[in-house]
Amino acid sequence: MLEWSTATPAIGAAFLASLVEVVEAFTIVLVVATLRGWKPAVLGTGAALATLAAVVVILGPVLDRVPLNILQLVIGVLLLLFGIGWLRKASLRAGGILPLHDEDAIFAKETAELTADIRRQQTSQDWIAGIAAYKAVLLEGLEVIFIVIAVGAGRGLLWPASLGALAACALVLVVGAVAHRPLSKVPENTLKFGVGVMLSAFGVFWAGEGLGVEWPGHDLALFAFAAVFLVAGLMSARMVRQPVIGVAQ
Amino acid sequence: MNILKDVFAELFKMFVSDVRLTAAILGTVLAAAALIDLTRLPPLAGGAALLLGCLAVLVISVLREARRRR
């Protein structure tokens, strides 16, 4: 029986984190399609998805053999490294220290780089473009797999978390196919902030459980952790934000 | 081979984007584990140390990076 107090954060975190990753992969695939047509883009994407499927098939049975408390501790620590890293970057962006993520600017930069690559290389231009799509989908896809495993494996929620990730992929594909341009309207910086908060909360939760901590309120503790990480992230952004100095006339 | 190298570099970067941040998080987890395993305190004390430590690491890391970039 699915416990919604546990499943909702897992599905939500997998969906939002995957949304961020898939939007980034989609931008590169779109660069390839724009420069060299859909054939290398689709072939590169398909090959990457096949590689990712192989990774899941190989990793899945291995995960079942790891004792639960060790799995929780390892995943918890990895989530803390990943989640706090994201939250830190998002806080620095919100505080104006780092520039905001701009999908249009990334599209332009990737287009220029791939164009230069294609001009420089002697091999087939479609091959280079296909490899670019393959690499983008593979790298972002590996992050999606990690997030799905991380938020789902500790409580047997791999399927619900996978559904969250698949829903994100489907949404980006549908919107991307309709819009046919980089999805710059997706509030990626806000999403990254939210995902950083959720992954950090999951990290503390799993690492604690792996160490033998019984959290008060059990799974509901996740919401409390998310709330304190949200406050800490917002507070950090506020502390580093420089006041706008008006120019005296 | 280039792709494999890029994949491993990306995976490494996922978890170790900043060596100090990584070390601070690992140190916090080790401290929490030591509190739970080596003292008579209830495990929840270690859990509280883990949560508070991670929050402190986040805030200090943001402030340090902001100072470094100015």
Chain B hits for A80, CB-CB cut-off 8 Å, are: 25, 29, 54
Tell me the pLDDT band of A246, cut-offs 50, 70 and 90: very low
Note whether A232 contacts B32, CB cutoff 8 Å.
no
Highest mean pLDDT (candidates A4-18, A104-118, B19-33): B19-33
Q: What is the CA radius of gyration of chain B?
A: 16
Residue-wise pLDDT for A39-87, tens only, equals 888 899 999 889 988 888 888 778 778 888 888 899 999 999 999 998 9
* Mean pLDDT of all residues in B10-37: 90
- Are A81 and B69 an interchain contact pair (Cβ–Cβ within 8 Å)? no
Q: Do B50 and A82 touch (CB under 8 A)?
A: no
pLDDT (0 to 100) of residue A185: 67
ipTM of the complex: 0.92
Determine the Cα–Cα distance for residues A64 and A96; give it in Å rounded to an integer: 44
Question: What pLDDT, in 10s, does the model give residues A140-173?
Answer: 888 888 888 888 877 778 888 888 888 988 888 8
Rounded CA separation A164/A15 (Å): 4
| Cβ neighbours of residue A114 closer than 8 Å, sequence gap 6 or more | A31, A32, A35, A128, A129, A132
- Which residue in chain A has the smallest CA separation from B23? A81
Judge whether A169 and A25 are in contact, CB under 8 Å: no
Asked if residues A176 and A34 have their Cβ atoms less than 8 Å apart, the reply is no
pLDDT at B63: 94
Contacting residues of A for B34, CB less than 8 Å apart: none
| Mean per-residue pLDDT, A18-43 | 85
User: Chain A contact for B27, CB < 8 A?
Assistant: no
Q: What pLDDT does residue A113 have?
A: 79
pLDDT, mean of residues A223-246: 86
List CB contacts of A243: < 8 A, sequence separation 6 or more: none
Three-state SS annotation for chain A: CCCHHHHHHHHHHHHHHHHHHHHHHHHHHHHHHHHHCHHHHHHHHHHHHHHHHHHHHHHHHHHHHCCHHHHHHHHHHHHHHHHHHHHHHHHHHHCCCCCCCCHHHHHHHHHHHHHHHHHHCCCCHHHHHHHHHHHHHHHHHHHHHHHHHHHHHHHCCHHHHHHHHHHHHHHHHHHHHHHCCCCCCCCHHHHHHHHHHHHHHHHHHHHHHHHCCCCCCHHHHHHHHHHHHHHHHHHHHHHHCCCCCCCCC
Mean pLDDT of A93-118: 80
Q: How confident is the model at residue A176 (pLDDT cuts 50, 70, 90)?
A: confident
A245 pLDDT above the threshold of 70? no
**Which chain B residues touch A233 with a CB distance below 8 Å?**
58
CA separation (Å) from B56 to A181, B5, B44, B50, B53?
Answer: 40, 34, 18, 10, 5
Give residue A123's pLDDT band: very low, low, confident or very high (50, 70, 90).
low
Distance CA A64, CA A242 (A): 49
Residues A202-233 pLDDT 10s: 999 999 999 999 999 888 898 999 999 999 99
Q: What is the pLDDT of residue A247?
A: 45
Judge if pTM exceeds 0.90. Answer: no
- A97–chain B nearest CA distance, Å: 6
Q: Which residues does chain B have within 8 Å of residue A48's beta carbon, measured at their own beta carbons? A: none
Across the interface, of B26, B59, B69, the residue whose CB is closest to A232 is B59
CB within 8 Å of A183: residues ≥ 6 apart: A23, A26, A27, A103, A172, A175, A176
Q: Are B65 and A97 in contact (CB under 8 A)?
A: yes
Alpha-carbon span A160 to A58, nearest angstrom: 20
Mean pLDDT of chain B: 90
Q: Is B41 on the interface with A (CB under 8 A)?
A: no
Kindly state the tokens that stand for A189: 């910086």
Q: What are phi and psi of B8, to 5 degrees?
A: -65, -40
- The pLDDT value given to residue A249: 41
Contact A108/A31 with Cβ under 8 angstroms? no
Question: Which tens digits make up the pLDDT trace of B41-58?
Answer: 899 999 999 999 999 999
Q: Which residue of A has its CA nearest to B59?
A: A236
| B chain contacts of residue A207, beta-carbon cutoff 8 Å | 29, 32, 50
Q: Is 50 exceeded by the pLDDT of residue A248?
A: no
Mean pLDDT computed over A184-192: 76
Q: Which residue has the higher pLDDT, A205 or A131?
A: A205
Higher pLDDT pick, B58 / B3: B58
> Rounded to whole angstroms, how far apart are CA atoms A90 and A188?
10
Of the partner residues A92, A134, A143, the one whose CB lies closest to the CB of residue B62: A92
Which chain A residues touch B if contact means CB-CB below 8 Å? 76-78, 80-82, 84-85, 87-89, 91-92, 95, 97-98, 131, 134-135, 138-139, 142-143, 146, 200, 203-204, 207-208, 211-216, 225, 228-229, 232-233, 235-237, 239-240
